[in-house]
Structure 1
Amino acid sequence: MTESTTTPEPSPAPPGPQETFAALALAPPLAQALAVLGLSHMTPVQAQALPSLLAGQDVIAQASTGSGKTVAFGLALLARVDVDLARAQALVLCPTRELADQVSTVLRRLARFIANLRVVTLCGGVPVRTQKPALQAAPHVVVGTPGRILDHLARSNLELSGLRVLVLDEADRMLDMGFLESITAVVEQAPSARQTLLFSATYPEDIRALSRRLQRDPVAVTVDSVVSRADIEQTFFAVEPARKLDALAALLSQHRPESALVFCHTRNDVREVSAQLARRGFSVLALHGKLEQRERDEVLLRFANKSCAVLVATDVAARGLDIQELSAVVSWELPTDPDVHLHRIGRTGRAGRKGQALALCSPFERERVAALERAQGAPFRWGELPNLDDDRPTRPPMTTLVIEGGRQDKLRAGDLLGALTGDVGLPAEVVGKIDILVRHTYVAIRSDHAERALKGLRAGKIKGRSFRARVLK
């Protein structure tokens, strides 16, 4: 690993950055991509970090999922890529496959008007040999998990001599998951003359130490703590343990969130809570560490597609989960670590939308409440529980269909949209997210049109071929 010759504390970002992307004088392809994506005003982390990022400086930013950090470092690394050089010029390390996929998606959208720029994602869950052809095509940007990146380096499938930008995304999570040794081994193969960007939701000493080892005179960027955001309404509810499930069902019935993420401490709690909610008629899925990768992918797709209203998950399983329009977060039990609480509630109330953060508190959790209040510096708001015997489950607005074909069949989102709106005759507004994977494609359809869409896809053709289709359950 490259050591800095000096270890100064990061200097603060310059004050008073511009608030619009237009002020940055970006290259036309990047400016055009932002316009197509409907992005004109910067988030706080983008406004503070981008001037330094685009100037080629090292940056350490305290920013969590949903802060806009991916667009920030994405613009910076794409600005430095030379598509005429057929080599890896930017590397983004992520703690999970889900986050790596999300980062790659954002980068491809930002690079849509940069001709011939190639982005590849390298994560576990698939054989190493299946990823080798993508590397032989000489991608300019590589996104992946440390272990799989190191594996390809060891096999000489990937080399980093031309690396210009190194990004560590959710660095604190990577350290928590034991990736320090892998990160060290990867960085040892990168040139010392590079830009290094470190993004972390928290800023403990091990992150500072990592910054001192990897970065040179980094600019520090810190956005306000999520607890001070006016777009998140936190409410705590006192409840006896025996009535906790009744209280959860009552709150979901009262607030009727289109999408709610319920956090539990253990895998057993996740299974039990999700099963009990399902028995009461709620549209609910469970997310925990024992799911197979395909099962996990489909759970996340259904939740992101709004074809499932409630997701029950452990904190570990939800790492890297980035749902832009999450209506509510519910804590089945309070975490002992205030940072975990901040990460939970920071998943709602994004992009100018109001979010609900609800917590169920048993009598034995009063000390945890006090600790969280001390961390916030203000008392929490306590609410009255609604009628605990009045379940009114919310049904999801969308249904997810699976088509047995994907990128290997050269399918594109436009092909699916054309088949659904042209051949099947659906209005475009009833078609939601389309996710195209290697062998499968997932498309969200408004539930009242799902049966018609399914019949049409089964009877018709896409790009002149017939594909099997089914409802994802």
Structure 2
Amino acid sequence: MTQAQFSSLNLPQSMLDNLKQIGYNDMTPIQAASLPEIIAGQDLIAKAKTGSGKTAAFGIGALTKLEPRNYKVQLLVLCPTRELATQVSKELRRLARFQPNVKILAICGGQPIGPQIGSLQHGAHVVVGTPGRIKDHLRKGTLNLSALKTLVLDEADRMLEMGFNPDIRDIAAQTPRDRQTLLFSATYPDGIRDLSNDFQNNPVEVSVEAQPEENTIRQRFYRVEKDAKTATLLHLLHKYEPTSSVVFCNTKQQCQDVRQALKNAGFYANALQGDMDQRDRDQVLATFANRSCSVLVATDVAARGLDVEDLDMVVNYDLPRDPEVYVHRIGRTGRAGKSGLALSICGEREHYKVTTIEEYTDQTVLYDTVPTTANRETELPAHPPMVTLSIAGGRKQKVRPGDVLGALTGAAGIQGAQVGKIDVFDFFTYVAVERGVARKALDQLLDGKIKGRKFKVRRL
């Protein structure tokens, strides 16, 4: 079946050229179903999961309606978490390259509010943020939504789960009645219907079921005593030796405990949890996505917005109470037709959760024997393939990825292929380099300059 192409839409040529440049040729099912309606100005309620291409769907449609000369907020995207808001704002910046001078701000909690106020005072066309912080700015009068054209509620079901319903309603009340409202949700609980009824005008409904990829995900369950869960996790990591894996826990404290146990065993592991400040969260996500950290231990809320290609393995250290959450967790591996591994460690009191998973997925769970790897656990785990260098300069200092790449591949003789992901944040930049050239790369950045300036650089 031929996939629909962006060129079939009524989009500016400059937008089409930019989409081609960033590798967007064929539309995903959710884009093909929703973009014509969004471009036509219709309100939309769409069932779409993370990884379906929904950001480009609402981004392409809304960005074409901006008036760059009018430095007022014309597009507002509400997200449940800081990580997702950061991810969405990055994608919108890529999509907005087709027209100059479009300013996009991420406004989230967990960050100082002062710099955000300063950025808003300079004007912005697009704001992406979490409901609580957006409401703070509206209350302070530092954000004005009177010129808003498009309101997007991204992962609306998660925002309702997290108790943001009152904030969303307060925010919507301060926007023009004739705005376009786009609602994206992975599930359709009753609260979503209520939001749609209250906020939308004759919305078009779009539901694209994800293509089943169960055959690409191998699922394994292990029944163990409660105090044997950590030892079992170590056995599994030693047996399968994943380059990148996410270990899911149900509490923040459990995340810290598991992470410490992994570090004690020699694994390159980090924890991602809700009470970290934004800089630490950005650093943890960057080092995991660029393959310089092998294991990420996370809660479900903290992992929202995590988008890592080719994730080898997912481990449920704690099984979730909601079987739908289990499906979301394991769906982070085995993407795009590639094989993935989903392992679940079941404590003595978690068998009822297995039963709900069996009923929800209509599959019978088979338990495996915990592998014995004692003869290998005296060896240290393999190093991650990459090392991250942290540069004390970012978007606010006009640092761009190309500047960092140029500084590394100059006199030092480092090949471009030896440089991995480069993530530029407001005040910091993280660059991944192959482990074998890490020392040379660090010396090159310490001795040289980026955009004619010296920056502090350290190895993480």
TM-score by length of 2: 0.93
Contact 1:226/1:346, CA 8 A, preserved across alignment? no
Q: Calculate the aligned-residue CA RMSD, in Å.
A: 2.1
Deviations along 1:45-86, one digit per CA (max 9) or x if unpaired, are 223222222222211122222221111111111122222333
Which of 386, 391, 400 in structure 1 is aligned with 2:388? 400
| Deviation, structure 1 residue 363 | 4.2
Which of 448, 455, 463 in structure 1 is aligned with 2:451? 463
SS of alignment partner, residue 316 of structure 1: helix
Contact 1:66/1:350, CA 8 A, preserved across alignment? no
SS of alignment partner, residue 99 of structure 1: helix
Aligned residues: 457
Within 5 A, what are the aligned runs for 1:273-422? 273-389=258-374, 390-391=376-377, 393-422=381-410
Q: Does 2:58 match 1:73?
A: yes
SS of alignment partner, residue 124 of structure 1: coil
| Deviation, structure 1 residue 255 | 2.4
Deviations along 1:372-400, one digit per CA (max 9) or x if unpaired, are 11111222354443224233624211111
| Deviation, structure 1 residue 307 | 0.7
Which of 79, 96, 115 in structure 2 is aligned with 1:94? 79
Aligned equivalents of 1:372, 1:18: Cα separation in 2 = 34
Contact 1:17/1:48, CA 8 A, preserved across alignment? no
**Distance verdict in 2 for CA 1:269–1:284, change over 3 Å:** same
Number of the residue aligned with 2:243: 258
**Distance verdict in 2 for CA 1:437–1:231, change over 3 Å:** same
Within 5 A, what are the aligned runs for 1:134-213? 134-213=119-198
Deviations along 1:138-183, one digit per CA (max 9) or x if unpaired, are 3221111112222222333222222111101111221222222211
SS of alignment partner, residue 350 of structure 2: helix
Which of 6, 10, 21 in structure 2 is aligned with 1:36? 21
Within 5 A, what are the aligned runs for 1:423-438? 423-438=411-426
TM-score by length of 1: 0.91
Letter in 2 for 1:28: Q
Segment of structure 1 superposing worse, 30-39 or 234-243:
234-243
Q: Does 2:4 match 1:19?
A: yes
Which of 435, 447, 450 in structure 1 is aligned with 2:438? 450
Deviations along 1:170-229, one digit per CA (max 9) or x if unpaired, are 112212222222111111111111211111222111111111111122222223357654
**Distance verdict in 2 for CA 1:332–1:77, change over 3 Å:** same
Aligned equivalents of 1:412, 1:118: Cα separation in 2 = 16
SS of alignment partner, residue 145 of structure 2: coil
| Deviation, structure 1 residue 23 | 2.8
Letter in 1 for 2:65: R
Contact 1:17/1:47, CA 8 A, preserved across alignment? no
Segment of structure 1 superposing worse, 183-192 or 115-124:
115-124
Aligned equivalents of 1:132, 1:367: Cα separation in 2 = 49
Q: Percent identity?
A: 50
| Deviation, structure 1 residue 95 | 1.5
| Deviation, structure 1 residue 17 | 9.7
**Distance verdict in 2 for CA 1:321–1:34, change over 3 Å:** same
Aligned equivalents of 1:203, 1:233: Cα separation in 2 = 28
**Distance verdict in 2 for CA 1:371–1:125, change over 3 Å:** closer
Q: Give structure 2 stretches of 5+ with no counterpart.
A: none
| Deviation, structure 1 residue 305 | 1.6
SS of alignment partner, residue 430 of structure 2: strand
More RCO (CA 8 Å, sep 6+): 1
Number of the residue aligned with 2:46: 61
Aligned equivalents of 1:364, 1:161: Cα separation in 2 = 53
Contact 2:73/2:124, CA 8 A, preserved across alignment? yes
| Deviation, structure 1 residue 328 | 1.6
Which of 72, 77, 99 in structure 2 is aligned with 1:114? 99
Aligned equivalents of 1:175, 1:323: Cα separation in 2 = 25
Number of the residue aligned with 1:214: 199
SS of alignment partner, residue 422 of structure 1: coil
**Distance verdict in 2 for CA 1:133–1:273, change over 3 Å:** closer
Aligned equivalents of 1:464, 1:67: Cα separation in 2 = 41
SS of alignment partner, residue 317 of structure 1: helix
Contact 1:19/1:47, CA 8 A, preserved across alignment? yes
Contact 2:3/2:26, CA 8 A, preserved across alignment? no
Letter in 2 for 1:370: T
Contact 1:202/1:339, CA 8 A, preserved across alignment? no
Q: Does 2:208 match 1:223?
A: yes
Deviations along 1:324-344, one digit per CA (max 9) or x if unpaired, are 332221101211111211221
Aligned equivalents of 1:334, 1:450: Cα separation in 2 = 38
SS of alignment partner, residue 413 of structure 2: coil
Contact 1:95/1:146, CA 8 A, preserved across alignment? yes
SS of alignment partner, residue 359 of structure 1: strand
Segment of structure 1 superposing worse, 449-458 or 27-36:
27-36
